[in-house]
Amino acid sequence: MANEFFERIESDVRTYSRSFPIVFNQARGATLWSEDGKEYIDFLAGAGTLNYGHNNPLLKEALVDYISRDGIVHGLDFWTSAKQDFYQTLEDVILKPRGLDYKIQLPGPTGTNAVEAAIRLARKITGRPNIMSFTNGFHGVTMGALATTGNAKFREALGVPAIGAQFMPYDGYLGEGVDTLDYVEKALDDKSSGLDRPAAAIVEMVQGEGGINAASVEWIKRLADICKKRDILLIIDDIQAGCGRTGKFFSFEHAGIKPDIVTNSKSLSGYGLPFAMVLMRRDLDKWTAGQYNGTFRGHNLAMVTAAETLRQFWRDDTFEREVQRKGDVVKDRFEKLARMLTEAGHPASERGRGLMRGIDVKSGELAGQITHGAFERGLVIETSGQAGQVVKCLCSLTITDDELAKGLDILEDSVQSVINK
């Protein structure tokens, strides 16, 4: 019944509801409940938006208090006490301890707004239109951001040519033992390579939508160095890999680099409220008043919960160590599942960093069978990669050991039954 209703009224553009065609009604932590009371462990967590779980009570309390005292909800880009608290907490808890001196821009509320702002700023500063992007990169679907997104499904739906970016091979794109940056460096210095001198390079430390491809620390360091030597700005898109997902607040901390510009969104509010942010090196703030605007720049409710996440989880390294510990649990189990699949004639491998993990099963159909079987058994889990060939785990970072074990057991059952077929 619900299916008929939604299919009649909602555009065919819908996506996740195709994989999970039920009506969800409640959620807490890493558990979701359907309308008819069935329980599901959530390994999708809003595609990395719910790092602190559904309706985290610590964040809820701050939000409810703020609403109850009639705190400002919408104020365009007014200075508000919620904004002041968020900026101050970000500076004290995250930026200063990491030696980062960034200015903050709040664009519109979603990730793609942050990417648009970042690449436009890079073009404005350098006067160069081209952006260097990487194979399998995903940076959003508005016009400018989409040009830097690799996936043909999105590019074909643009209706006009996706221009303004040129793609280079990401780490691992040409298989093991090939450093793709050899090509990047040569192309940048060769006047006949066909690569226009870029304003910036935009890259994810771990490609989320692109298949949980983790660039090696050496690769990113070398990319940062290549860019720096040629006066090309480095934009790290931390929209999915940020806010602790890889085991550090910023994914690039693993490499010890300091990007020129950073985009952040998904788990930034921590409560699933839309919120996006651009961090830029202080001297790069070449915007003039109102040159990039929007009605929902820095929603106050999102800033209230964002500030609270920083206070609750990021004052010391306890949380980071927890994420790394749970990441290792997932890694071990995914390695086991990959071995089971490989031994059964379906070559598979484990991949990722922190709690951003996947099993590449080389086939979208096989991955779909595994996630579908998992859903029937009570686990919400999605695939990623250009052919949907990677089963990915993006469970909340606050997931309990019990919930995590339960989810992994369900996934193993599903893998086992696909193998036995």
Ligand X SMILES: *Cc1c(COP(=O)(O)O)cnc(C)c1O
| Stretch touching ligand X by CB under 6 A, among 94-102, 133-141, 154-162, 400-408 | 133-141
**104 in helix, strand or coil?**
strand
Q: Is 112 in the site for ligand X (CB under 6 A)?
A: yes
Q: Is 237 in the site for ligand X (CB under 6 A)?
A: yes
What residue is closest to ligand X based on CB? 111
**279 in helix, strand or coil?**
strand
In this structure, the number of other CB atoms found within 10 A of the CB of residue 231 comes to 10
- Residue selected from 86, 138, 167, 170 as contacting ligand X according to rule CB under 6 A: 138
- Chain length of the chain: 421
Cβ atoms of residues 329 and 355 within 8 Å? no
- Residue selected from 136, 180, 265, 309 as contacting ligand X according to rule CB under 6 A: 265
Task: Quote the CA–CA distance of 164 and 145 in Å, as a whole number.
Answer: 9
| Stretch touching ligand X by CB under 6 A, among 104-112, 121-129, 162-170, 180-188 | 104-112
Binding footprint of ligand X, residue count (CB under 6 A): 15
Q: Which of 105, 110, 113 is nearest to 143 (CA)?
A: 113
Q: Which two tokens stand for residue 149?
A: 């997104």
Q: Is 267 in the site for ligand X (CB under 6 A)?
A: no
Using CA atoms, how far residue 99 sits from 44, 62, 105, 250, 385, in Å, is: 32, 28, 19, 13, 34
Task: Quote the CA–CA distance of 179 and 397 in Å, as a whole number.
Answer: 32
Task: Quote the CA–CA distance of 342 and 396 in Å, as a whole number.
Answer: 28
Residue whose CB is less far from ligand X, 132 or 338:
132
> 277-281 and 102-105: which strand pairing?
antiparallel
Q: Is 148 in the site for ligand X (CB under 6 A)?
A: no
Q: 180 to 219, contacts with ligand X by CB under 6 A?
A: 204, 208-209
Residue whose CB is less far from ligand X, 66 or 249:
249
| Stretch touching ligand X by CB under 6 A, among 33-41, 86-94, 235-243, 391-399 | 235-243
Residue whose CB is less far from ligand X, 266 or 406:
266
Backbone angles phi, psi at 273, to 5 degrees: -90, 140
Residue whose CB is less far from ligand X, 213 or 389:
213
Residue whose CB is less far from ligand X, 117 or 338:
117
| Stretch touching ligand X by CB under 6 A, among 23-31, 110-118, 327-335, 341-349 | 110-118
Q: Is 42 in the site for ligand X (CB under 6 A)?
A: no
- Residue selected from 45, 59, 90, 115 as contacting ligand X according to rule CB under 6 A: 115
- Residue selected from 80, 105, 110, 414 as contacting ligand X according to rule CB under 6 A: 110
Sorted by sequence, the CB contacts under 8 Å of residue 19 that are 6+ apart come out as 371, 372, 375, 382
> 277-281 and 200-203: which strand pairing?
unpaired
| Stretch touching ligand X by CB under 6 A, among 107-115, 128-136, 162-170, 187-195 | 107-115
Taking the complex as a whole, how short is the minimal distance between the CB of residue 160 and ligand X, in angstroms?
Answer: 19
Q: What is the DSSP letter of 133?
A: E
| Stretch touching ligand X by CB under 6 A, among 81-89, 191-199, 232-240, 403-411 | 232-240
Taking the complex as a whole, how short is the minimal distance between the CB of residue 88 and ligand X, in angstroms?
Answer: 25
Residue whose CB is less far from ligand X, 119 or 337:
119
Q: Which two tokens stand for residue 6?
A: 């939604």
Q: Which two tokens stand for residue 312?
A: 């609750």
Q: Which two tokens stand for residue 306?
A: 């964002």
- Give all strands (DSSP E) within 197-251, no chain letters: 200-203, 206-207, 213-214, 233-237
Q: 358 to 417, contacts with ligand X by CB under 6 A?
A: none
Whose tokens are 């938006």? That residue is: 49
**202 in helix, strand or coil?**
strand
- Residue selected from 29, 107, 111, 407 as contacting ligand X according to rule CB under 6 A: 111
| Stretch touching ligand X by CB under 6 A, among 108-116, 165-173, 226-234, 316-324 | 108-116
Q: Which residues bind ligand X (CB under 6 A)?
A: 110-112, 115, 138-140, 204, 208-209, 237, 239-240, 265-266
